[in-house]
Chains A and B, each alone.
Chain A
Amino acid sequence: MAIESPKTIDLEITARGGIRMLHDDEFDVTEFGSPEALTVSRASHVEWEPSGWYIVSAATGQRIASGFASRGAALAWEKSYYGVGGVGWPEIERRKE
């Protein structure tokens, strides 16, 4: 029987008192600020091909990972890549929309 890891939510409070994170439905950022001050932008796309699920950066259009046997595995990798401190985290600086 697989043991699930406990739920984690990662976020960053910026030096100026902003909040940044990879979206998580369990954390409502508007509890801490106005919806008008919120921006939500796509980080990536998860797609499928016969060899498995793959991930495309929304910023560059480049494929950044592929060959995942399940969508869940792709999403887990994506969360690690784009989450706070991950390799893709700096892309959050460039996302305006």
Chain B
Amino acid sequence: MSHFTKLDRAQITDPEAFIAACAELGLTDVQRADANGKVQIKDFYGGRADVDVAVAIGKYHVALVRNPDTGKYDMMADWWGVRHAIAASGRREWQRARDSELQDFLLRTTTKNAIVSLYRRRGFRAEINEDESHNINIRLRRA
């Protein structure tokens, strides 16, 4: 009677969950778009990009841009630059990592934060465990 449910890759729905994930990497310089408009950052090519959330590290940013078709957010960054800036800030393990690993870290951590936050509001507590392969097990228990 049971069914397995699999979502290949989550999408970002909660900007604050993303901001909290960035904070785990020591990235705390945050700008949020306000009612007056979006935040402008420099993109990879030196041009300007309008984003909804920008988290700075040195001259680089990790940003969220709201996708008008889905209503969810896409990440954008000069991933190589951000990763090396994080490594230079003392988290040397990121020096030899791949850019995709940084993206994966942010997506899974943001998803974890979003789930825990949403279900806390719905009356659940969360028990969280991460294994050696970076899979995150969550048990939500109604309080």
Contact = CB atoms under 8 A, between A and B. Distances in A.
Interface residues of A, number: 44
A19 B7 contact: yes
A32 B2 contact: no
Interface of A is mostly: mixed
Interface string A12-48: 1111111111110001011111100111111111100
B8 interface: yes
Q: Which of B3, B119, B135, B137 has the most CB of A within 10 A?
A: B3
Interface of B is mostly: mixed
A79 B3 CA distance: 10
Given A29-B5, A41-B3, A9 B139 contact: yes
Interface residues of B, number: 36
Contacts of A43: 2-4
Given A18-B7, A33-B10, A84-B137, A13 B1 contact: no
Contact of A22 (B4, B10, B134): B4
Given A8-B142, A32-B13, A33-B10, A22 B5 contact: yes
